[in-house]
Structure 1
Amino acid sequence: MSFKRTPSHLKFVNKKRIIQCIKGCSPISRAEIASMLGLSKPTVSQLVDELIYESWVVEKGIGESSAQGGRRPIQLFFNERKAFIIGADIGGTKVKIVLCDLNGNILAETSFSTTAYLQTGLLKQMAIETDRLLAKNQIAKERILGMGVGIPGITETKSGLVMEAPSLGWIQYPFIAEAKRYFDFPIYIDNDVNVAALGEQWLGNAKNKRNVLFIAVGTGIGSGIILNNQLFRGASSAAGEMGYMVTNKEDMKREFKPIFHRYGYLESVAGGKSIGAQFTKAVQANPEHALYELARSSELAGEEAFLFAKKGDVAAIAIINEAIEHLAYAIVNATSLLNPEIVILGGGVLNSAAYIVPRIQEIVDHYLPSLVELTTSKLGENAGVLGAVSLFLREYESILNVHDEGDFL
């Protein structure tokens, strides 16, 4: 978005810079703000007074006196309860909704089954659950700035259109247009892994990092990419689909068939569903195995393969190590191309991180020309909902918006 450099725009920009400064550095005095931002003291004082009048900033107590004595400066604090934001993470099995303050503190949360309401109205149920959260916490709707939503599919943030979300059965679904029937505040949407990447950059292990690769490994595999502090969505909002990476060309020559319709190669050999399916076949071939009877009647889960690998099960170890190698090669390829400061693993992989991460790190360090920090998600299951709140703060045109002045995030 471009603005003419008018006095009113300059004032708006400076006001934004000041509130971000207070938000990130409070308690802080007017003089300290002026020094940090290179603004005149009268300008800072005038804009701070406006922020106090508008309840974005509050004055609390007094600071320490200077070495020369004299009056001690009044300290300024960001008012994180000025307004509230709803964060929602729509998954294939569960929808999670949180009520947050402006600092990302979760004040209340709720969830419900996705499949139970897909046919009868997912958005309607989201509205009902949101109203319950607000009523239970005695917060008026007028104090809600808006809502951010993470969706498991290709989305267009600007138009509010879900291009495709296979697990929800949505194709060209006008999410924002439909949401306006149930919500009277602004809503922004994005792919769920993109949103999780924003969450980790805001409050997680990618805080203060400008170049981030977040990889969610579960049934499928996807990634969120932040380059130079901006979420990279690609030409058709489909950037980050790491699940389609090919890490063994010989498989493709043998008429490779994905584990699910329209799934990619990588998630078909390294995703949780793939690991479970391969482990099931291995167990079925061994009548002496402890899970033999179970494997004959149903497919084993990937978690069971990890559990038995930790116990020394030879078949489980071989299957998981093969999957880890594929994932590690994909990380090497993506990291070589993007050169992120940090690579964060999230999703179902977190349950077996202690087993997986050291093995991935070994391969990555061996092949990469330069070292990269590899770690797991700090926010865990809350990465999606907190990322949705972060998405809203980035996209919503208010004094809190940090999209244009990214250095103050």
Structure 2
Amino acid sequence: MSFKRTPNHQKYVNKKRIIQCIQECSSISRAEIAVKLQLSKPTVSLVVDELIQEKWVFEKGIGESSSQGGRRPIQLFFNERAAYIIGTDIGGTKVKIVLCDLSGNILADTSFSTNIYLQSGLLKQMAIETDRLLAKNQIAKDRILGMGVGIPGITQTASGLVIEAPSLGWIQYPFIAEAKRYFDFPIFVDNDVNAAALGEQWLGNAQNKRNVLFIAVGTGIGSGIILNNQLYRGASSAAGEMGYMVTNKEDMKREFKPIFHRYGYLESVAGGKSIGAHFTRAVLKDPHHSFFERAQSSELSGEDAFLFAKKGDSTAIAVINDAIEHLAYGIVNAACLLNPEVIILGGGVLNSSEYILPRIREIVDRYLPSLVEMKTSQLGENAGVLGAVSLFLREHDSILNFHNEGDY
């Protein structure tokens, strides 16, 4: 069997390389592209003319005189408004939808409560909100390339099947098949933390990094893993479920009970919900604590614990330090195995990152065999939606998709 590339295939590969080059280096001339990509000038000119005709690229200026007296070459720019992408992040509390251009600029966004529409039809409401977003921004449906969706659960990207999403009550839910009833453009779906990892690599604190560990610490704890520039999903799309790590064997011997049904050990001792629960129990042992009465009537939150810790409350500090230790040991275990270039921390608990990060770093640096860069998410609460857009660009077979072609 011959694996030789046909001329047509080679032209398509060149086209992808050239559009990627223009996208990353706007503005750039045809001659500069030829040098950069080691392609002939006629090849570059032919492809660029096609890209201009298809409106992916536009040119500006006749060029000013250079210092040698000749005219500066015409500069090429990527047309980030050639098409648009919808990014959707389905969370346990709310669904967020954004309208993005091809460079990841959010042009408009909307959101709605997950619980209100979970029974009556989440996808139907997503379609209504998307139509509203397009109409409001005067963008025709045929300008939409497609949609990427992040879901809080184990999700098979290839089949579009949600194996299990506990916070949505979905088990073996055929998401893509259902979505086709409401949307007539391509849709790709993945776990929300995987999507966030892609978002950080595309536009956030993991840019130009090929090996990334993104950890989301919210009610639960999950991670997205990028190895050698590819998202690592695992044998059954369940890679990165860091919340199931065990960081204290003694607890397991005592018939450990997770904080929520089917939650793992680490998220039951270091997630936001567990911090609140442990803080409540600790406050109830101290009748003189200023939150004692409130703790008697309702459970305190993780935010309450952080608020008091920052004020120097010893009960809160002890609870949070314990959670941070567990989280740090989990990070050490994951980093030893994966050896990432950068670890990005995101999720709700990291609103208190200035308190958490130095303590985690201290433990990680002490026990990890090689040092690793550690940062908080640059995209913050947009990591999920922008990651969903990035997911679409990676998975959808179009001229803009270059990640799956290998490294040129």
Return the TM-score normalized by structure 1: 0.98
- Asked if the contact 1:56–1:78 (Cα under 8 Å) also holds between the matched residues in 2, the reply is yes
Question: Following the alignment from structure 1 to structure 2, what is the Cα–Cα distance between the partners of residues 356 and 403?
Answer: 34
Check if 1:263 corresponds to 2:256: no
Aligned pair 1:136/2:136, yes or no?
Answer: yes
1:351 is aligned to: 351
Task: Give 1:369 shift.
Answer: 1.1
Question: For 2:261 and 2:312, how far apart are their aligned partners in 1?
Answer: 33
Partner of 1:152: 152
Match of 2:199 in 1: 199
Aligned residues: CA RMSD:
1.2
* Partner Cα separation in structure 1 for residue 215 and residue 188 of structure 2: 22
Counterpart in the other structure of 1:85 = 85
Aligned equivalent of 2:397: 397
- Describe the SS at the equivalent of 1:120: coil
What's the offset of the Cα at 1:407?
4.2
Letter in 2 for 1:103: S
Amino acid at match of 2:112: F
Query: Secondary structure at 2:115's aligned position in 1?
Result: helix
> How far, CA to CA, are the matches of 2:216 and 2:167 in structure 1?
16
How far off its partner does 1:292 sit? 1.1
SS in 2 for 1:255: coil
| Residue matched to 1:187 | 187
Identify if the C-alpha distance between structure 1 residues 287 and 81 changes in structure 2 by more than 3 Å, giving closer, same or farther.
Answer: same
- Helix, strand or coil: the match of 1:88? strand
Distance in 2 (CA, whole Å) between partners of 1:350 and 1:278 is 18
Mapped to 1, the partners of 2:11 and 2:182 lie a distance apart of 35
Structure 2: how far apart are the matches of 1:212 and 1:368?
16
**How far 1:284 moved relative to its partner?**
1.2
- C-alpha deviation, 1:66, in angstroms: 3.8
User: For 1:321-340, what aligned pairs fall within 5 Å after superposition?
Assistant: 321-340=321-340
Distance 1:197 1:62 in 2: 41
Measured in 2, the distance between the counterparts of 1:340 and 1:65 equals 47
Tell whether 2:110 aligns with 1:110: yes
Query: Relative to structure 2, which stretch is displaced further, 118-127 or 309-318?
Result: 309-318
The answer to whether the Cα contact below 8 Å between 2:63 and 2:71 also exists between their aligned partners in 1 is no
Residue 13 (structure 1) aligns with: 13
Report the secondary structure of 1:205's partner residue: coil
Question: Could you say what secondary structure the match of 1:134 adopts?
Answer: helix
Deviation at 1:52, TM superposition (A): 0.1
Letter aligned with residue 124 of structure 2 = K
Deviation string, structure 1 residues 183-224 (Cα, Å, up to 9, x no partner): 000000000000000000000000010000000001000000
SS in 2 for 1:207: coil
Please name the residue that 2:120 is paired with. 120
1:63, distance to aligned residue in structure 2 (A) = 4.1
Q: Could you tell me whether the CA contact under 8 Å between 2:233 and 2:239 is conserved in 1?
A: yes
Q: Which residue of 1 aligns with 2:365?
A: 365
Aligned to 1:99: 99
Residue 226 of structure 1: aligned partner: 226
- Which residue number in structure 2 is paired with residue 215 of structure 1? 215
Partner of 1:302: 302
1:65·1:73 contact (CA, 8 Å) conserved in 2? no
Aligned-partner residue type, residue 273 of structure 1: K
- In structure 1, the residue corresponding to 2:404 is in which secondary structure? coil
SS in 1 for 2:183: coil
Q: Deviations over 1:350-405 (max 9, x none)?
A: 21000000000000001111110011000000000000000000000000012223
SS for the counterpart of 2:119 is coil
TM-score (norm 2): 0.98
Report the residue type matching 1:379 in the other structure: L
The equivalences for 1:162-181 within 5 A come to: 162-181=162-181
**CA deviation profile, 1:287-341 (whole Å, cap 9, x unmatched):** 2111111110110000100100111111110110011000001111100110000
Instruction: Rate the CA distance shift 1:229–1:63 in 2: closer, same or farther, 3 A.
Output: farther
Q: Which residue of 2 aligns with 1:60?
A: 60
Q: Percent identity?
A: 84
User: Residue 148 of structure 2 contacts residue 391 of structure 2 at CA under 8 Å; is this kept in 1?
Assistant: yes
Gaps of 5+ in 1: none
CA apart distance, 1:106: 0.2
SS of the residue 2:344 aligns to: strand
Query: Could you tell me which amino acid in structure 2 is paired with residue 116 of structure 1?
Result: I
**Superposition pairs of residues 284-303 of structure 1, within 5 angstroms:** 284-303=284-303
**Structure 1 position 23 matched with structure 2 position 26:** no
Does the residue aligned with 1:404 lie in a helix, a strand or coil? Answer: helix
Q: Which residue of 2 aligns with 1:41?
A: 41
Shift, 1:38, TM fit: 0.5
Q: Distance in 2 between matches of 1:52 and 1:3?
A: 31
What letter corresponds to residue 378 of structure 2 in structure 1? Answer: K
